[in-house]
A and B are shown apart, each in its own frame.
Chain A
Amino acid sequence: DAKTTQPTSMDCAEGRAANLPCNHSTISGNEYVYWYRQIHSQGPQYIIHGLKNNETNEMASLIITEDRKSSTLILPHATLRDTAVYYCIVRDVNDYKLSFGAGTTVTVRA
């Protein structure tokens, strides 16, 4: 029941911005866009979430299109430690189910 589509993998140069796309064309009005990442052998880590406005925190920025059918996670200055699988998840904030798809494997190269 995948609600999101992400590229399987992408490479990024260290120090450059990494732009991770996510399509969620069937998103409903109550659903937020969440981003998590999983660094090798660790538990998933929350990054950011948003409803319709763009959001920024110390880790990343989230850009959501006006029609909310897609979004982009931006890591402004990628480091080697940002190498991870990044998951885009669409979810109602009151939904108890948090489902992960295949995600995007991001490799940051020196």
Chain B
Amino acid sequence: DTAVSQTPKYLVTQMGNDKSIKCEQNLGHDTMYWYKQDSKKFLKIMFSYNNKELIINETVPNRFSPKSPDKAHLNLHINSLELGDSAVYFCASSQRGQAFFGQGTRLTVV
């Protein structure tokens, strides 16, 4: 029973398309995150939500729009995809500092 699950695991799409990545956690955590890991392997925080409210937005282009319908879900919608958006995107949840990560979504924009 996966604690933090993301779908899809792989996503290949053309430039200009709009796509969504879904994330669900069954840990009862209040805080959820989206991270981007590019080809240089740096993990960069994009967004943090606490109790469905946006807490952190790390100067991410507004083409990226997170949506939290409830505490257990934090989805990431990306408009007008660009080549530079190709990366692995990780969702995570945490409570009191200890975070659990999903297995990642590898997004390839062609």
B65 to chain A, nearest CB (A): 19
How many pairs of residues, A versus B, come closer than 8 Å at their CB atoms? 53
A98 touches B (CB below 8 Å): yes
Interface contact B96-A46, CB-CB below 8 Å = no
A51 to chain B, nearest CB (A): 10
Residues of B within 8 A of A42 (CB): 103-104
Q: How large is the interface on B (under 10, 10 to 19, 20 to 34, 35 or more residues)?
A: 20 to 34
B98 touches A (CB below 8 Å): yes
Residues of B within 8 A of A49 (CB): 97-98
Interface contact A45-B48, CB-CB below 8 Å = no
B7 touches A (CB below 8 Å): no
A34 to chain B, nearest CB (A): 7
In terms of DSSP, what is the predominant structure of the interface of chain B?
Answer: strand
Q: How large is the interface on A (under 10, 10 to 19, 20 to 34, 35 or more residues)?
A: 20 to 34
B66 touches A (CB below 8 Å): no
A10 touches B (CB below 8 Å): no
Question: CA of A87 to CA of B98 in the docked complex: distance in angstroms?
Answer: 13
Residues of B within 8 A of A97 (CB): 45, 48, 56
Which chain B residue lies CB-closest to A41?
B104
In terms of DSSP, what is the predominant structure of the interface of chain A?
Answer: loop
B43 touches A (CB below 8 Å): yes
B76 to chain A, nearest CB (A): 15
Residues of A within 8 A of B31 (CB): 96
What residues make up the interface of B, taking CB atoms closer than 8 Å to A?
A: 4, 31, 33, 35, 41-45, 48, 50, 55-56, 90, 92, 94, 96-104
Given A43-B104, A100-B44, A102-B42; 20 other pairs, CB 8 A cutoff: A38-B43, A42-B104, A43-B4, A43-B92, A43-B103, A44-B43, A44-B90, A44-B92, A44-B99, A49-B98, A93-B96, A93-B97, A96-B31, A97-B45, A97-B48, A97-B56, A98-B33, A98-B92, A98-B94, A100-B45
By Cβ-Cβ distance, the 5 closest A-B pairs, closest first, are A43-B101, A100-B43, A93-B97, A96-B55, A96-B48
